[in-house]
Structure 1
Amino acid sequence: MKTNNAALMRDLYNLILNPATRDWERHLLVQVKDNPQQLSPTGQLKQLEADLRPLATRDNLTPDVMDFYLALTGNGSVVPKSDYSDTPQIDASHEERAVFAGGCFWCMVEPFDQRPGIIAVTSGYTGGSWAQPTYEQVSGQYTGHVEAVEIRYDARKTSYRELVKLYWQLIDPTDQFGQINDRGNQYRPVIFYANPSQMAIATASKQAVIDSKRYKQPIVVAIEPLYHFWPAENYHQDFYRKQPQRYRRMKKAHDHYLKWLAFKNKL
């Protein structure tokens, strides 16, 4: 349980001012802020933890409030806030990036993150018209954005072609309305290209999948230009490390579906 009152007050103010915080969450946070003398494990802080717990257990708090709740409860699976300022830097002439959308970004990070040559994998939003979108706005399909991952990699150790090849193995390319259990336009599969070379590789890879005739339904993965990638809230970064048990359950269901899809297309 956090007991540093100065840090708590700073976090409370940041969450209250955060436009992504829901009104009812903000109301609870303001109550605590207005009663600083009760910021103790047995006072107002304990009540706040109890008020947030029902939705926290269902993963239905806004991301930054969830981060606060996990720190508040001392959850052992919590890792420090992701700080991409200390991401390893390499010679800029060898660093490139790829951006893919393939359903919930929680399941898209780990497969890329474990490959040689990967510098960082960031969950975020792209493809829409709104600046600095929040998770709730994207989930509400107000912004036109999709959930995606940005992969920074060392081109001397891996290639864009190899990353695209892996991407096709992670998705159902015949589903334009989402991916597996993730339904909605924000989960549609898209390859975003940053330059003509990436567009040519992505286009050729899509044609190769079509020509393989592995799928009985049309291949609907879009290939679109990349304009701006907005990193998602901290709660969504490195989810497979922060919530390993939940991630393993999701990955198991995801893998089972893709195996079933491959089997069905062979019949």
Structure 2
Amino acid sequence: MIKIDLPRVIASPGTRTFEREQLVRAQSALDRGENHNRVLAQLEASLRPLALRNNLTPDVADLYLLLIHDPAAQQFDFAAHRISDVQHQDRAIFAGGCFWCMVEPFETMPGIVSVLSGYTGGTTAHPTYEQVKGGHTGHVEAVEVIFDTRQVTYDQLLQLYWQLSDPTDNSGQFSDRGANYRPVIFTTSAAQMAAATAARAHLAAHNPYRQPIAVDIRPATTFWPAENYHQQFYRKFPQRAKHLERERKQYLFWKRVTGKLLPKITSD
């Protein structure tokens, strides 16, 4: 028997009205003692049209994966994302477009402890994906990286960041348009601010781009974790992640052949 927490998803602020109506109807049927499997099958059928278009809100999408017994219905261990060694660990925050594409390159880098997708830089507490995507909170999609300073330096993280983003585009990243996708480096200390500022100046001085560097550098504010559905997206949905990565590469290629970027981004 599938164990799902309908009340939690019903209460989620990110759940849309139509989704909530289906969930409430299912919960009421269960409360009346109707057949559990039949009720869940009916719920799955009512959500399926939106699921097939990848248009369910995050918590409902997680629930749907449970209903169809999809292996992607896995929970991220949010409690494990923390600095456990204050002497040898630090955190860095980068925004460079859709956070789905930002996790794997950092997470697979030696010395990385944990990578968390989330929202930061805005004014709304506990924002939902729908709110951020709608541009109502001032937040950007970002990743928070906890790293072991004995194995990888902040400068090395910066070098990787320049390869993942288009630092000349402050109106979004690649095919993702809007202020919530703009590139920003959020620094957690004076040392990080100095390093990020120097790295940006070095990049601009060596002029590997045809347009000015537009990446903002700001002191970090509260980093709000994104919903479970968004965590480690590349592991749960490898085909969709590969498709997004291809789109990024094609977009960069287009910018280079149209003269908006030079043929190669240098890291000297």
Category of TM-score, reference length = shorter chain? over 0.9
- 1:230 pairs, out of 220, 224, 244, with 224
- What's the offset of the Cα at 1:259? 4.0
Tell me which moved more, 82-91 or 92-101: 82-91
User: Is the aligned partner of 1:122 residue 2:122?
Assistant: no
User: Is the aligned partner of 1:49 residue 2:44?
Assistant: yes
User: Is the aligned partner of 1:38 residue 2:34?
Assistant: yes
RMSD of aligned residue pairs (Cα, Å)? 1.6
User: Is the aligned partner of 1:72 residue 2:53?
Assistant: no
CA distance in 1, matches of 2:35, 2:62: 18
1:101-116 paired onto structure 2 within 5 Å: 101-116=95-110
2:167 corresponding residue in structure 1: 173
- 2:53 pairs, out of 53, 58, 62, with 58
CA distance in 2, matches of 1:69, 1:116: 34
- What's the offset of the Cα at 1:47? 1.4
User: Is the aligned partner of 1:240 residue 2:240?
Assistant: no
Q: Map Cα deviations across residues 161-184 of structure 1 (whole Å, 9 max, x no partner).
A: 000110001111111110011000
User: Is the aligned partner of 1:83 residue 2:77?
Assistant: yes
Q: 1:57 to 1:244 in 2, by over 3 A?
A: same
- What's the offset of the Cα at 1:88? 8.2
TM-score (norm 2): 0.92
SS at match of 2:36: coil
SS at match of 1:121: strand
Instruction: Report if the CA contact (8 A) 2:83-2:90 is conserved.
Output: no
CA distance in 2, matches of 1:177, 1:253: 17
Q: 1:143 to 1:167 in 2, by over 3 A?
A: same
1:133 corresponding residue in structure 2: 127
Q: 1:89 to 1:229 in 2, by over 3 A?
A: closer
Instruction: Report if the CA contact (8 A) 1:105-1:149 is conserved.
Output: yes
Instruction: Report if the CA contact (8 A) 2:100-2:233 is conserved.
Output: yes
Aligned length: 259
TM-score (norm 1): 0.93
1:128-207 paired onto structure 2 within 5 Å: 128-207=122-201
SS at match of 1:34: helix
Overall identity of the aligned pairs, in %: 51
CA distance in 1, matches of 2:80, 2:204: 41
What one-letter code is carried by the residue in structure 1 that aligns with 2:45?
Answer: A
CA distance in 2, matches of 1:150, 1:89: 11
CA distance in 2, matches of 1:103, 1:224: 16
What one-letter code is carried by the residue in structure 2 that aligns with 1:60?
Answer: N
CA distance in 2, matches of 1:240, 1:68: 19
Q: Map Cα deviations across residues 112-135 of structure 1 (whole Å, 9 max, x no partner).
A: 000111000000000001111000
Instruction: Report if the CA contact (8 A) 1:103-1:189 is conserved.
Output: yes
What one-letter code is carried by the residue in structure 2 that aligns with 1:150?
Answer: E
> Please, which runs of 5 or more residues in structure 2 have no aligned partner?
264-268
> Please, which runs of 5 or more residues in structure 1 have no aligned partner?
none
Q: 1:192 to 1:39 in 2, by over 3 A?
A: farther
Instruction: Report if the CA contact (8 A) 1:97-1:151 is conserved.
Output: yes
